[in-house]
Amino acid sequence: MQKEFIGKDSLKKIQEIIDRTDTKNIFLVTGRESFSLSGAKKALNNLLKGRKVIIFDSFQSSPQLEDVEQGVSLLRHNHSDLVVAIGGGSVIDMAKLINILVAQSDMDLFNIIKNPNLIKNKGIPLVAIPTTAGSGSQATHFAVVYVEKRKYSLAHDYLLPDYVIVDPVLSYKTSKKVAANSAMDALSQAIESYWSLNATHESQSYALDAIKLILGSINLAVNSKDKVAMQTMSLASHLSGKAINITKTTAPHAISYTLTSDFDIPHGYAVASLLAPVAYVSFNNASNKYKDVMNEVFELFDCRSVDEFCKIWRQLMQNCGLHSKLEDSNVPLNKLDFIVDNVNVERLKGHPVLLTRLDLERIVRMAITGY
């Protein structure tokens, strides 16, 4: 059962966790820049006094297998008794991967990533501390890793962090660009979870709360850096993570990964650019049951039709400073087939509508051109 500490100045709870786990040696996974910019470095220097701290921050922005292998080697040789991950979703994913993989007897890490049934042992206690209001990785039992530009998602109950600290203060100094990408990621996740084939009453409750909170605070949080709004966004992001922890994501995420790995499109923007086209194509092919579910989402945006939703969604992206079409971010239409060829089929399984190759081509075309 995950232990949560949520709210302003909750970072101080790290001392309670250290005492509870009798920690002497900490393996700290951080982003190279976000660790200092968020204020976490200064705060933790005081909170972790008297403990040995090994820092791992030499990895790429999207988790790569070679970086995971380096982290596993470092953790194994330092015999740490607590892993602390502090950063965005990729940082937390990296820590989750290192912690679970180092605990397995099979040292072929790629083999384990492809076959999660090989996971037999739980890692040491893991504390996840997000510095962005986006991915919700701290609340999920899966982690993304790229192997030669191909995206894999390792899922296992042992990946869920033991402790979560959601302190909105750490997100206050986030740039507008990062805040916008993070917010749209959280919102997209909540929507995808709500309409997923895997949705439950519990997941839809988390998703519904997340959507409402984000819509009420995203403008002030991204554009005005209003602290109250940013506190709301931190909570909403966590709820979004709890929602997809139950359902996983759907088509927008399934299509998005190649945009990030091959075109350097930030994950949150990639997903957001696809959500409206996915909604449009899916709604027109959906059964009455799922049209009703999608209409429930549209109503939250004060919409009466999928066309109106798509218009409002694109306007929301623009209000956050994001391009509403991918061709404005150097994704050319002649790469359409390449993007469709690399859709993550696993993530399509939870989508409420069976999407054909022609549907996927139409979605990507709409995302690139806006039509």
CATH number for region 3-170 = 3.40.50.1970
pLDDT grade for 344, boundaries at 50, 70 and 90: confident
List strand residue ranges (DSSP E) for the chain, in order.
Answer: 3-6, 25-30, 52-56, 82-87, 126-130, 142-147, 150-155, 163-166
What pLDDT score does 37 carry?
A: 82
Checking if the pLDDT of 69 tops 80, the result is: yes
pLDDT given for residue 134 in this prediction = 86
Looking at every residue in the chain, the average pLDDT score rounds to: 94
Q: How sure is the predictor about 345, in pLDDT bands with cuts at 50, 70 and 90?
A: confident
Considering the segment(s) 175-369 as one domain, its CATH architecture is Up-down Bundle (1.20)
Contact 252, 260 (CB under 8 A): no
Give pLDDT, residue 330.
94
Q: Are strands 25-30 and 150-155 parallel, antiparallel or unpaired?
A: unpaired
* Beta pairing, strands 52-56 & 25-30: parallel
Residue 45 makes CB contacts below 8 A (sequence gap 6+) with none
Query: Smallest Cα–Cα separation from 55: which of 45, 65, 63, 46?
Result: 45
Inform me whether the pLDDT recorded for 184 exceeds 90.
Answer: yes
Q: What is the pLDDT of residue 39?
A: 85
> 254: how many CB neighbours lie within 10 A of its CB?
26
**How do 142-147 and 150-155 pair as beta strands?**
antiparallel
Collapse the DSSP code of 272 into the 3-class scheme (helix H, G, I; strand E, B; otherwise coil) and give the result: helix
pLDDT tens for each residue of 242-266: 999 999 999 999 999 999 989 999 9
Rounded distance, CA 210 to CA 196, Å?
Answer: 15
**For the residues 150-164, what does the mean pLDDT come to?**
93
Is the model's pLDDT at 333 over the cut of 90? yes
Query: Is 36's pLDDT higher than 90?
Result: no
State the pLDDT at residue 202: 98
The residue to which tokens 């309670």 are assigned: 16
**Tens-digit pLDDT profile for residues 296-319:** 999 999 999 999 999 999 999 999
- Above pLDDT 90, what percent of the chain? 85
**Closest CA relative to residue 36, chosen from 178, 170, 166, 127:** 170
> Greater confidence, 240 or 370?
240
Distance CA 100, CA 5 (A): 23
Residue 371 has pLDDT above 80, yes or no: no
The pLDDT, as a whole number, for residue 293 is 96
Domain ranges for the chain, please list them: 3-170, 175-369
Residue 145 has pLDDT above 80, yes or no: yes
Going by pLDDT thresholds of 50, 70 and 90, the confidence category of residue 15 is very high
